[in-house]
Chain A
Amino acid sequence: MELLAFGKTGWGDELFIATLMTIAVSITAMLIGFIFALIFTPLKLSKNKFLNIIANCYTTIIRGVPELLVIYLFFFGGSGAVMFVASIFGYNDYIEINAFITGSLAIGIISGAYSTEVFRGAIQSIDKGQFEASKVLGLKKPIHFFKVIMPQMLRLAIPNLSNVWQITLKDTSLISVTGLVEIMRQSYIAAGSTRDPLFFYSFAAILYLLLTFLSMKLINKLELKYSRGY
């Protein structure tokens, strides 16, 4: 227990901050994923073959390649890509990108592929009559989407989105390879300097379990809220 003390003698405060970092990365990645899903879900559902192929390539490649490989691509390729763009604008110095940004972007792109599939499935399982009815009523496109389709889609999507959230939360442990100090990295540091890996990795496992448990509770509440009337 001394090992977990707050302050200079223990690792309690470091691990606490690391846990907050894990939560921050997960939420950022999930939001980036939503942005990707918002772009690619319409492409998947569109009648244009070419747009379909683009969206299918995205989801197939990302879901078929290991997360770690994607993270290495961003970690090693990220600053190179930014420097290349900067050199076009005449800036030739070395640019280093923050580990938080590369990490959450990499995980975000992965979670976006899963979210896209979830949203596609949810929209496709909405009754066709709903689309037709709102057309017949002459609703404008934004109202049609935000007031008719979105609420029904969210109800169907939330159970699957909670799976995506779990995957995203667990994937953030992989960002530790880039040196971002989240739960895994902090445990690695603590285990190295105290020579007590069993304790710290087990404690990391407990922290992750706690996070998944608490987020499941929250999501269940959301699920209840959106399934009112069913």
Chain B
Amino acid sequence: MDFELMINSFPKLLNAAVITLKLLSVSLIVGLFIGLLFAILRLNKNIFINKFAYGYSYVFRGTPLLVQIFIIYFGLGQIEYLRSTFLWVILKEPYWCAIIAFALNTGAYTSEILRSAFQTIQPGIIEAGKSLGISNKIIFYKIQIPIAIRQSLPAYGNEIILMMKGTSLASTVTIMDLTGVAKYIISTTFKPIEVFIVAGGIYLFMTFIIHNVIKYLEKKYSFSQ
């Protein structure tokens, strides 16, 4: 055990963890909107819209995240037309490519979580709202969405942790996140176990925090049944 290396690499890894958290939070916020949009599309009665939303979530859940990042980072740059548009400013940066891939990926999972939450809302609740003369729009925003969010909290907590682990793939497109820096230190010092303990410890700590925040929210918003 090389404790000196562990102590020396700790601040470097902690700095890199900030990048991991940035990647995670931006992609989760964008992914939540994508997920909500596609969950609503999934509940649409139009079969084409429905199938489109299903296809989106099927493709993004059925392929590895690594493939998705590589298609966006290496693949899209190949299209000449894209290079001439303003999109190229975003797509040439590995940071934004990673975020786009993460957001689309977590959006697919989130849409499934939210869809099942919408479907488990008891029809009686919506009917109660209707019979009170509340408009459909307000029923959706003030009744259905809050209940769906509460229902999906446990599953969404898992998704946040999975996504946090997913951000480690950003290191494959040259971003120096926590895993990227860990790999760099391992490959220069050839001390994998020490670095793994420190980097893994930081990841575990983040998992622990996320887990407890979700638990707290679950308790706070639990229905008195």
Contact yes or no, B182 A72, CB < 8 A: yes
What's the interface size class on A, roughly?
A: 35 or more
Interface membership of B89, Cβ < 8 A: no
Contact yes or no, B171 A68, CB < 8 A: yes
Interface membership of A184, Cβ < 8 A: yes
Interface membership of B183, Cβ < 8 A: yes
Question: What's the Cα separation between A126 and B192 when bound, in Å?
Answer: 42
Question: What's the Cα separation between A166 and B204 when bound, in Å?
Answer: 24
Residues of A within 8 A of B67 (CB): 173, 184, 201, 204-205, 208
- Nearest residue, chain B, Cβ from A183: B67
- Nearest residue, chain A, Cβ from B20: A66
Question: What's the Cα separation between A59 and B168 when bound, in Å?
Answer: 19
| A202-B196 CB under 8 A given contacts A173-B64, A184-B64 | no
Interface membership of A197, Cβ < 8 A: yes
- What 1/0 mask marks residues of chain B from 58 to 77 whose CB sits below 8 Å from any chain A CB? 11001111111011001110
Interface membership of A209, Cβ < 8 A: yes
Interface membership of A50, Cβ < 8 A: no
Contact yes or no, B196 A69, CB < 8 A: yes
CB < 8 Å: which of A67, A170, A191 contacts B165?
A: A67
Question: What's the Cα separation between A64 and B187 when bound, in Å?
Answer: 23
Contact yes or no, A197 B196, CB < 8 A: no
Contact yes or no, B183 A72, CB < 8 A: yes
Contact yes or no, A67 B168, CB < 8 A: yes
Could you tell me the distance in whole angstroms from the C-beta of A181 to the nearest C-beta in chain B? 15
Question: What's the Cα separation between A202 and B63 when bound, in Å?
Answer: 10
Residues of A within 8 A of B203 (CB): 64-66, 69
Interface membership of A224, Cβ < 8 A: no
Contact yes or no, B168 A66, CB < 8 A: yes
- What 1/0 mask marks residues of chain B from 158 to 179 whose CB sits below 8 Å from any chain A CB? 0001001111110110000001
CB < 8 Å: which of A72, A195, A208 contacts B64?
A: A208
Could you tell me the distance in whole angstroms from the C-beta of A182 to the nearest C-beta in chain B? 11
Which residues of A (162-216) have their CB < 8 Å from a CB of B? 166, 170-171, 173-174, 176-177, 184, 187-188, 191, 195-198, 201-202, 204-205, 208-209, 212-213
Interface membership of B79, Cβ < 8 A: yes
Contact yes or no, A68 B192, CB < 8 A: no
Could you tell me the distance in whole angstroms from the C-beta of A11 to the nearest C-beta in chain B? 16
| A212-B62 CB under 8 A given contacts A69-B168, A69-B179 | yes
Residues of A within 8 A of B168 (CB): 66-69
| A77-B74 CB under 8 A given contacts A205-B68, A209-B59 | no
Question: What's the Cα separation between A176 and B172 when bound, in Å?
Answer: 11
Interface membership of B78, Cβ < 8 A: yes
Could you tell me the distance in whole angstroms from the C-beta of B194 to the nearest C-beta in chain A? 10
Interface membership of B221, Cβ < 8 A: no
| A176-B66 CB under 8 A given contacts A64-B204, A68-B179 | yes
Contact yes or no, B71 A205, CB < 8 A: yes
Residues of B within 8 A of A76 (CB): 186-187, 190, 192
5 residue pairs, one from A and one from B, having the closest CB atoms: A66-B168, A198-B75, A77-B192, A173-B64, A197-B74
Q: List 22 A-B contacts (CB under 8 A).
A: A61-B200, A63-B161, A64-B161, A64-B207, A66-B165, A66-B203, A68-B168, A68-B169, A69-B168, A69-B196, A73-B196, A76-B192, A174-B66, A184-B70, A187-B70, A195-B78, A197-B70, A197-B74, A201-B71, A205-B63, A205-B68, A208-B67
A61-B204, A201-B74, A209-B63 given; name 12 further pairs at CB < 8 Å. A60-B204, A65-B165, A69-B168, A69-B182, A69-B203, A76-B190, A77-B196, A177-B172, A198-B78, A205-B68, A209-B59, A209-B62
